[in-house]
Amino acid sequence: MESREPLTLAEQFAAACDWWREAGVDQDFHDAPETLLKEVESATRAPKPAQQAPKPAEESAPPPISQIGDDPTQWPQALDAFHGWWMREASLDAAGTLQRIPPRGVPQAELMVLVPMPEAGDGENLLSGEQGTLVRNMLRAMEIAEGKSYFASVLPRHTPLADWDSLLASGMGKVLRHHIALASPKRLLVLGRDILPLLGQEKRQGVAELSLGETSIQLLASFAPENLLQNAKLRADLWRRWLDWMG
């Protein structure tokens, strides 16, 4: 048997390639993945221009809040004329199904009673329902005749869920102060905590002095009539503070 010399490394490599070629494998493979859509980088290709960030949209200023009553210099300067303006001025409130109710009473009254709005059942007269009965009983206990009183509301008609913050921002406080100045009462009883910010007072304020330009009025504040009707403790507290206020 004829002995053969061992194949060199080059001969072994060539033989291996011939074997794989005969087996049908004539391409080079490796395990590392490559993208088939890879762009060919060109040294001569011009760089892409940098994209500018989109400019932020300019914030538009909020529209000005329309003021209730428009020009204050055109407001009535007499109480009787104010009552007529109160019934027809469109900016005082949004149109509603219930009618507007005018203030009532005498100017320079012993006491002005101010409530947030008319009762739902009010007809021609403000506070003619259950809340009005409460107020009249209070006046009787306070020994103040109804004929020497003045009754007014912040809103001209019954308005459930009134937006008091919006009313303050749109100038209802100015209208209210003008109304009080025209009525010119000796004392002011405010029944409704939401009314106080319109008069420049804190909601929890109990007793204050309301400045109206050259004059000032003593003010006593409590809860709205519907709250007083539902809570005897609130009524008792108001009576005690009334006695202290008058004393």
What is the C-alpha R_g of the chain? 43
Asked if the structure places residue 38 within a domain, the reply is no
Asked if the structure places residue 166 within a domain, the reply is yes
Structural domain total, the chain: 1
DSSP 198: G
| Residues with pLDDT less than 70, the chain | 1-5, 19-20, 24-51, 53-65
- Distances in whole angstroms, Cα of residue 21 to Cα of each of 8, 11, 13, 55: 20, 15, 12, 62
- Amino acid making up residue 178: H
Mean pLDDT for the chain overall:
86
Asked if the structure places residue 42 within a domain, the reply is no
Asked if the structure places residue 14 within a domain, the reply is no
Asked if the structure places residue 27 within a domain, the reply is no
pLDDT digits (tens, 9 = 90+) for 62-90: 666 678 888 899 999 999 999 999 999 99
Residues of the domain holding 153: 73-246
Backbone torsion region of residue 71, taken as left when φ is above 0, otherwise alpha when ψ lies between -120 and 50, otherwise beta: beta
- Joined together, the tokens standing for residue 243 give 């006695």
Return the CATH number at 98: 3.40.470.10
pLDDT digits (tens, 9 = 90+) for 85-105: 999 999 998 877 789 999 999
DSSP string over 12-43: HHHHHHHHHHHTT--S---SS---TTPPPP-T
pTM (predicted TM-score): 0.73
Asked if the structure places residue 92 within a domain, the reply is yes
